[in-house]
A and B are shown apart, each in its own frame.
Chain A
């Protein structure tokens, strides 16, 4: 529905600009604070332009020096987070696309039952499985290791399977049949015909998965114990709870470091992102 009256269009822009400012101001304030000397974070009225641009805060936040309290072993946390991404991403893509293929493009007895169970697990709140999984990983003596955070990724996940299945269903069956006539077995049809065509859907799954690992707080909180293993999300929270609300310039520098890669990733993959979100949200 369009507005044609110039005044109406102006009002729409004014409202949208006000909304955009509300979205951006918290992020701007984060960046401004991250560049201030500590004294200046506590002045009243607050300043929007730091009197001295203290880029050092970033250096101090990233470089861990055990002798000085209040510094964050950021490189370590970053490495741990990347490790989890590398260990889980291939697993998610392989196991979910295999399952989606079996549910979308093969006809076998019991398929509908498995698909029904898959959908049903979407309804299960995480806290329900939390306790027994903790107990299970404890029995395996995996608590305090990274394993609880990546092993599961190799065994599929309902949401991604559902997403990929829906995409696989849209690929014409003739393509598979033609390959079969040419003597391809099922595995070859999957790997050479379907997967290359499913790149956009796989990109969405990969992107959302990377974001989920980067953002995950509860998983690392439950399973990791030693500070040297913390991920960025958990490390940042641990730093905040240990040093309380005092060094706001440092905390905001650390937050900026955590937010920036996500936003950079978003700008490079915007189309995939927006389409992926629209697709997952319109499934109703």
Chain B
């Protein structure tokens, strides 16, 4: 290394140094430690004892683990596509040159500002089986509403419905993307005889596909780590563990039960699952997603 190169290196490292410490202490060390703990019997109170893959083997036979995994994937499988369709459709409507667009956008965005804890309390109250205003409203329409929070079959649908209340965030993103679509492309499509649907399928969606993919992947990562809402609204995942989410079961193993090794094994499975599903999404999208300039 020349003198100048050395100087540059020192300067670069100086600027990045707080982050290098953060990277080492708050990211790299915990990942390695987590992998090690996942191979140990570890209660925090005593030193970890190495037990090989026993935690992973136990997980495979743990009914609650499978239930929590199923609940989480079930939620993601419905909440993500529904959220995509609702938010994209809303953004399309807002992008039709409609008056008061900014007012609508603000209103749609408001629910996604509500802190998770407040959101949980609001919906506990709205969905309350006895005095909940949603079932009262349904009764007016001659429908007897279900026990949203008390019947095992309805807890996950309740959370999926709630997730739609918070799609405003995605609406803002899609709307910004739609406003960037060059007008000439629509004009060219019109010259080729494309109608509203034709333009949507052949211009809008291809151009928006990278944004959609990015937001689906972020949504997937978020859903797999869903914690606050089920933790607060359905303590212990009740009724019948129908709302026991992966991250909640992981947390319960770690802190209340102090099964740190077991929780770490769960964390690593979550990590690999996140990685695997993301790569799968990227793979499926290959050739279907349009990137400008290649």
Contacts and interface: CB of A to CB of B under 8 A. Distances in A.
B264 interface: yes
A23 interface: yes
Nearest to A33: B125
A175 B204 CA distance: 38
Main secondary structure of the interface of A (DSSP, over half): helix
A108 B8 contact: yes
A109 B1 contact: yes
A161 B111 CA distance: 27
A70 B214 CA distance: 44
B232 A237 contact: yes
Interface stretch (B18-26, B77-85, B151-159): B18-26
Interface in B89-125: 90, 92-99, 104-111, 113-118, 120-125
Interface string A25-36: 011011001000
Interface size class of A (residues with CB under 8 A): 35 or more
Given A13-B98, A125-B267, A278-B172, A99 B18 contact: yes
Contact of A19 (B20, B28, B108, B268): B108
B33 interface: yes
Contact of B196 (A1, A186, A237, A245): A1
Interface string A8-29: 0100110110011011101101
A16 B94 contact: yes
Interface in B226-279: 227-228, 231-232, 235, 247, 250-251, 254-255, 260, 263-264, 266-268, 270-271, 274-275, 278
B18 A95 contact: yes
Interface centre among A13, A127, A158, A222 (most CB of B within 10 A): A127
A107 B12 CA distance: 7
Nearest to B32: A132
Given A23-B165, A46-B131, A156-B18, 5 more contacts: A23-B107, A96-B19, A130-B251, A259-B113, A284-B215
A167 interface: no
Main secondary structure of the interface of B (DSSP, over half): helix
Interface in B140-187: 165, 168-170, 172-173, 175-177, 180, 186
Contacts of B118: 236, 255, 258-259
Interface string A244-284: 01001001101100110011001000100010011001111
A44 B12 contact: no
Interface centre among B104, B117, B271 (most CB of A within 10 A): B117
B136 to A, nearest CB: 6
Contacts of A19: 90, 104, 108
Given A133-B26, A281-B214, A258 B115 contact: yes
Contacts of B25: 136, 155
Given A16-B94, A99-B15, A117 B23 contact: yes
B243 to A, nearest CB: 15
Given A258-B115, A284-B214, A114 B16 contact: yes
A131 to B, nearest CB: 5
Given A98-B15, A252-B121, A284-B213, A124 B173 contact: no
B16 A98 contact: yes
B117 A236 contact: yes
B210 A284 contact: yes
A218 B13 CA distance: 33
Contacts of A131: 30, 33-34, 37, 254, 260, 263-264, 267
A121 B5 contact: no
Contact of B22 (A152, A240, A283, A284): A152
A134 B43 CA distance: 12
Contacts of B124: 240, 245
